[in-house]
Amino acid sequence: MARCLAGFSSPAAFSGGWTPHLVLESPSRHVVVHCGASLSTPRISSETEASAAEPSALVQGGTAPLVCALKSTASQDVSCFHFPGHNRGKAAPPSLSELIGLGAFSHDLPELPELDDLFSPKGVILDAQRRAAELFGSSKTWFLVNGTTCGIQASVMATCSPGDYLIVPRNCHISVISALVLSGAVPKYIIPEYNSGWDIAGGITPLQVDEAVKELEGDGKRVGAVLVTSPTYHGVCSDVQGIVSVCYPRGIPVIVDEAHGAHFRFHDTLPSTAIEQGADLAVQSTHKVLCSLTQSSMLHMAGDLVDVDKISQCLQLLQSSSPSYLLLSSLDAARDHLSKNADIFDQPLAIASETKDQLMKIPGISVLHLTCFASDFPAIDPLRITLSVSDLQLAGHEADDILFEDHKIVSELVGTRAVTFAVSLGTRVQDVEKLVESVKHLSEKYSFVNGSKPVKENHLCGPLEKISVHLTPRGAFFSTKRRARIEDSLGQICGELICPYPPGFLFGSLQNGRFNLNLLKSSSISCKFVRLHIPPSGGMLQGFSSKYPVAALLMSKLSTNGTVESIATNGHILDVISNRKKAVVPGPFAVTMH
């Protein structure tokens, strides 16, 4: 039984026994019945008023009010003179309509009166968000159409003024760096525990946070917030409750990047959510393990340390003024689906558990678990399966390529030594059976082929070293930059982000004031997408400059201890910072500041 469903108010629970209904704003569209019996209830004039109102005073739209309103509006027989230009599918591009159908176009509507306003919700969006808050256990929930990225950015901007410090793990997502650029906050990095055998970073501890806070307070610095990534991409959870106990007495808000933990609320055997542990803000990618559309997320709030209006203002700056109702309604639909199925995660959890048991029996294969880390992390997501293939003398990308090309297995994340698979609501028994058999074939083939090869002591992207910041991310971003050849950029500061995606954390970027050559080992990270793909034996590294050709580096040799013995470049160029003096340790992705 999912712990979250206790006390959830179903539509029938509202006073008076009336059936949820839809009340529209315009007088010509008022008291229109689409989702149940009519009941003429006045529209709430403001979100503040709505928050204080009884449930029966809210605009209701069935169990999924936003979905219901969108369906009703799309079915109207009207002559449209509004955007978008495809006019409810009448001018849909044939190639796309053949691909996704006309239904998507007919429901691709703007912010019409009956569909409410995302930035000032008073109707069905407000109702949908309040239902989501109740289900996810928060005091306030915002729907996000720019992904968890905009939720992270809004959270940092709402808690950190320019010059404030944001305590953050070094393996934070790239969205945190963009939030630092936008807010002008200064990062105080915490180095997460790193397992060199797996080449995987874990979480951070309350002790590390306490030490960072004391150090900053001792220097007279103001801590705007602490940001924690929990769970990590590999499912490792930090002790958020312990971190909150460090921060709350000091009045420091705790923000949790919970992108990979939106499902935690929905089964007793899953880890506790960030909000349950006392976090002030938690941003979740509802589209990941749950079932909304890609790019749709939620931002949850609890407590009173963070200004509600400030969050709303920041989201208005960061989100599109033309939000997709397909994305918004998918969040409402996902919430509705979860609220009606208390045992929805029983099967995925059983599948994942059995799959891990089978995989651990395969020679040369290891499964990531909490004992792989020395820190007392409280939990690891049971739906995340990470396999080490290093005992087969295979790199992660090599195993991933074989699994895809020979067995049509598509993974979620590829590391240097491991491959990660995500079990979700849509995972079928036949899928995991195929995965197990494919890994067995991998083991049978490569335990003999590679058995006599020497073990490579190539620790790659770790251990992560402490960073000496010479420029804030915002300062670096707005600095004047010049272009430089890779071979001429040693010992200089990088002017653009260099980031493998997934997982989306940086190893060479505009945030670094100190860049050690050993971090070049991270270029062996392999990703499924074109942003980065570098086998351990050599390959190409791509940067992210949109104005100039991307930076590219070809590693010709990497020694067994992980240091670079020789470098060859293909002559591509890199953005560089050009308005300050050189002030850093040599690094191939760092660029000169004059």
Residue 176, classed as helix, strand or coil, is helix
Q: b vs e for 525-552, b when ≥16 Cβ sit within 10 Å of the residue's Cβ?
A: bbbbeebbbbbbeebbbbbbbeeeebbb
Q: Is the pLDDT of residue 158 over 90?
A: yes
So what's the pLDDT on residue 215?
Answer: 98
Q: Is the pLDDT of residue 242 over 60?
A: yes
Listed range (109-113, 303-307, 447-451) with the worst mean pLDDT: 447-451
CA dihedral 489, 491, 493, 494 (to 10 degrees): 40
Choose from 160-164, 190-194, 476-480 the range with maximum mean pLDDT: 160-164
Tell me what the mean pLDDT of segment 407-423 comes to. Answer: 94
For residue 579, give both structure tokens: 């308005």
- For domain 346-449, which architecture applies? Alpha-Beta Complex (3.90)
So what's the pLDDT on residue 219?
Answer: 96
Alpha-carbon span 396 to 400, nearest angstrom: 6
Q: Give 445: exposed, middle or buried? Use CB within 10 Å, 0-12, 13-18, 19+.
A: middle
- Three-state SS sequence of 277-330: CCCCEEEECCCCCCCCCCCCEEEEECCCCCCHHHHHHHHHHHCCCCCCHHHHHH
Q: Is the pLDDT of residue 374 over 70?
A: yes
Q: Is the pLDDT of residue 360 over 50?
A: yes
Q: What's the topology of domain 146-319?
A: Aspartate Aminotransferase; domain 2 (3.40.640)
Tell me what the mean pLDDT of segment 27-56 comes to. Answer: 38
Q: What is the pLDDT of residues 327-352, one digit of tens each?
A: 999 999 999 999 999 999 999 999 99
So what's the pLDDT on residue 471?
Answer: 77
For residue 503, give both structure tokens: 């997982």
Alpha-carbon span 491 to 588, nearest angstrom: 7
So what's the pLDDT on residue 514?
Answer: 30
Q: Is the pLDDT of residue 310 over 50?
A: yes
Residue predicted with more confidence, 394 or 490: 394
So what's the pLDDT on residue 73?
Answer: 94
For residue 443, give both structure tokens: 């083991």
Say what percent of the chain tops pLDDT 70.
67
Residue 523's alpha-carbon distances to 506, 560, 570, in angstroms, are 11, 15, 15
CA–chain centroid gap for 588, Å, is: 28
Alpha-carbon span 25 to 114, nearest angstrom: 6
For residue 195, give both structure tokens: 């397992």
Q: Is the pLDDT of residue 537 over 50?
A: no
Terminal Cα distance for the chain, rounded: 62
Q: Is the pLDDT of residue 506 over 70?
A: no
Question: Is the torsion defined by CA of 320, 321, 325, 329 positive or negative?
Answer: positive
Q: What is the pLDDT of residues 574-590, one digit of tens each?
A: 334 443 322 222 233 33
So what's the pLDDT on residue 487?
Answer: 59
Residue predicted with more confidence, 296 or 510: 296
Tell me what the mean pLDDT of segment 297-310 comes to. Answer: 97
* Average confidence score pLDDT of the chain: 77
So what's the pLDDT on residue 447?
Answer: 79
| Extents of the domains making up the chain | 3-113, 146-319, 346-449, 473-577
So what's the pLDDT on residue 565?
Answer: 29
Question: Do 564 and 517 touch, CB atoms closer than 8 A?
Answer: yes
So what's the pLDDT on residue 574?
Answer: 39
For residue 132, give both structure tokens: 């989501």
Tell me what the mean pLDDT of segment 511-530 comes to. Answer: 31
Alpha-carbon span 401 to 407, nearest angstrom: 10
Scan for tokens 């040799």, then name that residue.
Answer: 557
So what's the pLDDT on residue 499?
Answer: 59
For residue 178, what are the contacts with CB-CB under 8 A and spacing of at least 6?
A: 149, 153
Q: What is the pLDDT of residues 95-122, one digit of tens each?
A: 999 999 999 999 999 999 999 999 999 9
For residue 178, give both structure tokens: 């963009």
Question: Is the torsion defined by CA of 331, 336, 337, 341 positive or negative?
Answer: positive
DSSP secondary structure, 96-149, as one string:
HHHHH-HHHHHT-----GGG--TTS--SHHHHHHHHHHHHHT-SEEEEESSHHH
Q: Is the pLDDT of residue 454 over 80?
A: no
Q: Is the pLDDT of residue 82 over 60?
A: yes
Residue 420, classed as helix, strand or coil, is strand
